[in-house]
Amino acid sequence: MSEPKSPTPTPGDTYKGWLFKWTNYIKGYQRRWFVLSNGLLSYYRTQAEMGHTCRGTINLATANIAVEDSCNFVISNGGAQTYHLKASSEVERQRWITALELAKAKAVHMQAESDDSGDDCPTAPPTAGQAGSGRNAEIQSTLRTLNSKVEDLTTCNDLIVKHGSALQRSLSELEGIRVGGDMGEKIRQVTERATLFRITSNAMINACRDFLSLAQNHSKRWQKALQTERDQRIRLEETLEQLAKQHNHLERAFRGATVLPPSFSNPALGASGKGDASDEDDDNEFFDAMEDPAEFITVPADPKYHRRSGSNISGFSSEAGMDDQSVNFDELSLASNPESPQPFELEPVRKRRTRIPDKPNYYLNLWSIMKNCIGKELSKIPMPVNFNEPLSMLQRLSEDLEYYELLDKAAKCQSSLEQMCYVAAFTVSSYSTTVHRTGKPFNPLLGETFELDRLRECGYRSLCEQVSHHPPAAAHHAFSEKGWTLRQEITLASKFRGKYLSIMPLGSIQCIFDKSSNHYSWKKVTTTVHNIIVGKLWIDQSGEIDVVNHKTGDRCHLKFAPYSYFSRDIPRKVTGVVTDKDGKAHYVLSGTWDEKMEFSRVMQSSKGENGTEGKQRTVYQTLKAKGVWTKNPLPEGAENMYFFSSLALTLNEPEEGVAPTDSRRRPDQRLMEDGRWDEANAEKQRLEEKQRTARREREREAVKAASSPEEGAHQDNYQAQWFEKIDDPVSGETLHVYKGGYWEAKDQGSWDMCPDIF
């Protein structure tokens, strides 16, 4: 296969390509992938290593570049590092020499500027968190880019003068030489210098073109930004005027001078809604600089794709932006629509608690309990509440809905591939609450339930039930007014290995969208708790997830990288690729399971070099990454409240009207939350003994009902109250699904059928 033709090096751009590097006298020259960027020349064994393993780097600011023959050249920084390199052809060598000289000149110039600056104030833009600095930072960044291009033009000019003078000297020498033996050598020198001059001239032309394009583009953007600021100022002035009138009306109403008319609506909110839409447009227009995530084997797409991304190519970006706008309008529609009920006529949404009692500082040696349990099933180990958190496993399952907005947005997607990105992000987001949560949730009692009714606040309702005790299995069902249903059945298998504890969730999760009938399913990865014996407990998630759309055949393969002390990757890294039924990649996902996820649209893919494991890696050309999910910050003082999120703090809050089997009514869990741990341990033992007694009674009944004592000796004829086991025809799995009746029973206050488990 022929080598792809390398582009003419452009100042300031990253230059990449294959070169042969001398290794030793046994192996000789070996093919390596070299990357020239920001004055540094680095090399890797393969393109696939670019994201994680650099084999060597040399700083060109202090390096010497020497040409040996037609294809060979040497780069050295004074003896510490020396690279003997060989190109595939003389032209390729000239391209590299030109790119290296450009990069070296720029690096020397930047180093000189840095030395001259001394202790001057840094020119870095303000952080995004500083109020009002976002636009200023963008302008500063643009000015730095333009200044960099001007410096590139100066460098190119110096190189053109240098190579032009050398070419002129060679031509003069050629004219003064008689035809003879030296003629061939002089002609070769002239040809070489003419090639250098041509390459440098092309670089100058490219730099001029880039500078002109940047100047024109930013001129248009600044004009549009100025017009946007003017429009926004007018809107703010109108809003202030309306707020002043509204404030006057409210004051008079409060004093009894007048009464607000029934048709009163809040025009200010409507105006601010337009302001939000405009801000959203601004976000779509002026992209903030993204942090450099360690993306796996992805390279920027060809610029032609970026020019088209505003129209039909990057449909996901535009539709995602529209989704954000529509959500903003939905939130404000109640206030801005004059036909909607008035705010003061609505029943107020319940105010949820934001704190729980601080965790007591009770010391108990975990190793003293766990040392006799190595290799055993965790669910069969009697554990005191000292190692628990005041939530049950059913409540932890319900925490998966903290980022329900991702499914709301997914329900609006027209494309199943775009929808898959949101579903995959929702899958990752369910692990974000576990990063500091080293406490073990309470094992639910058989028949225990937990409801999470957020229909009025968030548009969804959720119900969990413990449907089996050995093995422990919980069924979960949630539905939303936005058009999605989530259901899962999880059985936990866990093993204690001495130094660490492995928790393997078995079973599957399914999500069905009403409008498109898309049916997704996936499984959970393994959770590992480290430092059981000594040190601070910490949690890691590792494994792979395949999110499958059973209707279309689309698939997203997610990989949770295990933490390693020797890895150069960011910790808790997650990567994924969204493919259609034919295996063609459309989106790349990257991020961390404890912080954020981003997506990039794939424009082109190609097979790269073999990786370290002998597998051929794929290189994806992608558009600029966009954020799809970001973790909510923890509430203030979370470290004293078991590192609970804002949602977790409300899960065990007492509520009227819930079933008598609800986890909120569990006495040992309530006592632990209140800090009365000794009483909680005693109550926990009572409940467990009561559960064992009930199980023995069911087994005796099973023996009586069976045709022989052996047949019913170990049978438990327990039937779940709100769920039934079925064979799902779409996914082909057997699981418990909600059979209905719970919310009707709650409305009627009829809980006679519920067992007495507490």
Most trustworthy range by pLDDT among 131-145, 240-254, 456-470:
456-470
Q: Which residue has the higher pLDDT, 405 or 563?
A: 405
* One domain, residues 577 and 515: yes
Give dist(CA 371, CA 464) in Å, integer. 33
Per the domain annotation, does 719 fall within a domain? yes
Distance CA 239, CA 232 (A): 10
> In this predicted structure, what is the pLDDT of residue 345?
40
Lowest mean pLDDT: which of 337-346, 352-361, 437-446, 644-653?
A: 337-346
- Indicate if 202 and 144 belong to the same structural domain: yes
| Residue bearing the bigger pLDDT, 751 or 339 | 751
pLDDT of residue 342: 39
What band does 14 get if pLDDT is binned at 50, 70 and 90?
A: confident
276 pLDDT band (50/70/90 cuts)?
very low
Residue position matching structure tokens 């794709």: 305
Q: Which of 146-155, 245-254, 279-288 has the highest mean pLDDT?
A: 146-155
- List, as one string, the DSSP characters of 509-525: EEEEETTT--EEEE---
Report, as an integer, the average pLDDT of 335-355.
56
The answer to the question of residue 337 being in a domain is no
Among 750, 747, 734, 726, smallest CA distance to 660 is for 750
pLDDT of residue 664 exceeding 50, the answer is: yes
Q: Give the model confidence (pLDDT) of 706-728 as tens digits.
A: 755 555 545 567 889 999 999 88
Per mean pLDDT, which range of 15-19, 85-89, 612-616 is the poorest? 612-616
Taking the CA atoms of 691, 693, 696 and 697 in sequence, report the sign of the dihedral they define: negative
pLDDT band at 375 (very low <50, low <70, confident <90, very high): low
Are 146 and 68 found together in one domain?
no
How many domains is the chain built from? 3
Q: Is it true that the peptide bond before 390 is cis, omega within 30 degrees of 0?
A: no
Q: Do 558 and 502 fall within a single domain?
A: yes
From 233-242, 456-465, 466-475, the region with the lowest mean pLDDT: 233-242
The answer to whether residues 663 and 453 touch, using CB atoms and an 8 Å cutoff, is: no
Rounded Cα distance, 600 and 597, in Å = 10
Torsion of CA 386, 389, 395, 401, to 10 degrees: -160
Q: Is pLDDT of 745 > 70?
A: yes
Residue 484's pLDDT band (boundaries 50, 70, 90)? Answer: very high
Given this model, what pLDDT does residue 233 score?
79
pLDDT over 60 (residue 570): yes
- Residue 179 confidence (pLDDT): 58
Please determine, for residue 132, whether its predicted confidence score (pLDDT) is greater than 50: no
Residue 145 within a domain? yes
Q: Are 599 and 316 in contact (CB under 8 A)?
A: yes
Three-class DSSP category at 320: helix
pLDDT tens per residue across span 162-193: 777 777 777 777 766 655 556 777 777 777 77
Distance CA 389, CA 412 (A): 37
Q: Which of 256, 276, 294 delimits the end of a domain?
A: 256
In the predicted model, what is the mean pLDDT of residues 639-643?
Answer: 93
Q: Is the pLDDT of residue 5 over 50?
A: no
The reply to whether 154 and 78 lie within a common domain is no
Q: What is the biggest distance separating any 2 CA atoms in the chain, rounded to whole angstroms?
A: 119
Q: Among 13-22, 382-391, 494-503, where is mean pLDDT lowest?
A: 494-503
Residue 58 domain-assigned (yes or no): yes
Q: What is the pLDDT of residue 362?
A: 73
Query: Do 103 and 135 belong to one domain?
Result: no
pLDDT band at 138 (very low <50, low <70, confident <90, very high): low
Write down the pLDDT at residue 56. 86
Mean pLDDT for all residues in the chain: 77
Q: Provide the CATH number for the domain around residue 59.
A: 2.30.29.30
Clarify whether residues 99 and 143 are in a common domain: no
Mean pLDDT, range 378-384, rounded to an integer? 65
Q: How far apart are CA 342 and CA 369, in angstroms?
A: 59
Better-scored residue on pLDDT, 700 or 519 = 519
Last residue of a domain, one of 82, 111, 140: 111
| The pLDDT value given to residue 248 | 65
571 lies in the same domain as 633: yes
Range of the domain at 89: 14-111
Assess if residue 213 is contained within a domain: yes
If DSSP codes are grouped into helix, strand and coil, which group holds residue 393? helix
Residues 465 and 581 in one domain: yes
> Same structural domain for residues 413 and 531?
yes
Say what the pTM is. Answer: 0.57
**Res. 334 pLDDT band, cuts 50 70 90:** very low
- What are the start-end ranges of the H helices in 600-656? 646-651
Give the pLDDT confidence score for residue 63 in this predicted structure: 85
Residue 537 lies in a domain: yes
Is residue 428 predicted with pLDDT exceeding 60?
A: yes
In-domain check, residue 484:
yes
Comparing 91 with 710, the larger pLDDT belongs to 91
Q: b/e per residue, 111-139, with b = 16+ CB within 10 A?
A: eeeeeeeeeeeeeebeeeeeeeebeebbe
Q: Where are the beta strands (DSSP E) in 342-483?
A: 388-392, 440-442, 449-454, 460-469, 472-480
CATH number at residue 430: 2.40.160.120
Q: Give mean pLDDT, residues 489-506.
A: 83
Instruction: Give the whole-angstrom CA distance, residue 561 versus residue 233.
Output: 48
pLDDT for 323 beyond 50: no
pLDDT band for position 364 (cuts 50, 70, 90): low
What percent of the chain clears pLDDT 70, i.e. is strictly above it? 74
d(CA 459, CA 534): 45
Q: Parallel, antiparallel, or unpaired: how do β-strands 40-44 and 388-392 relate?
A: unpaired
Highest mean pLDDT among 146-160, 445-459, 713-727: 445-459
| Residue 712 maps to a domain | yes
Name residues whose C-beta falls within 8 Å of residue 723's C-beta, 6 or more positions apart in sequence. Answer: 465, 467, 475, 477, 736, 737, 738, 739
Tell how far CA 559 is from the center of its chain: 12
369: pLDDT confidence band, cut at 50, 70 and 90?
low
Query: Could you identify the residue written with the tokens 């529509």?
Result: 326
* pLDDT score for 635: 94
- DSSP letters for 231-269: HHHHHHHHHHHHHHHHHHHHHHHHTTS----TT---HHH
| pLDDT confidence of residue 470 | 78
Selected residue with higher pLDDT from 385 and 357 = 357
Domain boundary among 256, 272, 298: 256
Instruction: Kindly state whether residues 178 and 230 are assigned to the same domain.
Output: yes
51 shares its domain with 166: no
State the Cα–Cα distance between residues 317 and 372, nearest whole angstrom: 55
